[in-house]
Amino acid sequence: MRYVYIKKSHERLRDSCRGGVLSRHGGNEFDLEIGNGKNACIEMLAFCSMIDEIKEFLELSQSQSPLAGIILNKWKSEKKRLDDSYQ
């Protein structure tokens, strides 16, 4: 499980981020950062904190669950689409 933080929207922010999801590599690197004054869905942040466990579960379950396979394949294709558009 990854560390996630979110500050209340009315808090005075000393830095430029309101929240984020820590990289699985640790340190002070965040895989997701929420900018100052920006909104975030708490449910999405909770999901992001469990991303490694969810991915492992889907990979282990895909041979027994067609739905797990569909979700994992869609996830991988969406990641590829985003990677391609980012470059």
Give the model confidence (pLDDT) of 7-41 as tens digits: 877 666 666 788 889 887 767 788 888 887 788 88
Instruction: Please name the amino acid found at residue 84.
Output: D
Provide, rounded to the nearest whole percent, the portion of the chain with pLDDT above 90: 49
Sequence spans of domains, the chain: 1-49, 51-87
Q: How many residues belong to the chain?
A: 87
Residue 48 confidence (pLDDT): 92
Question: Phi-psi category of 38—alpha, beta or left, where left has phi over 0 and alpha has psi -120 to 50?
Answer: beta
Q: Helix H segments across the chain?
A: 42-49, 51-61, 66-86
DSSP label of 15: S
**Average pLDDT, rounded, for the chain:** 87
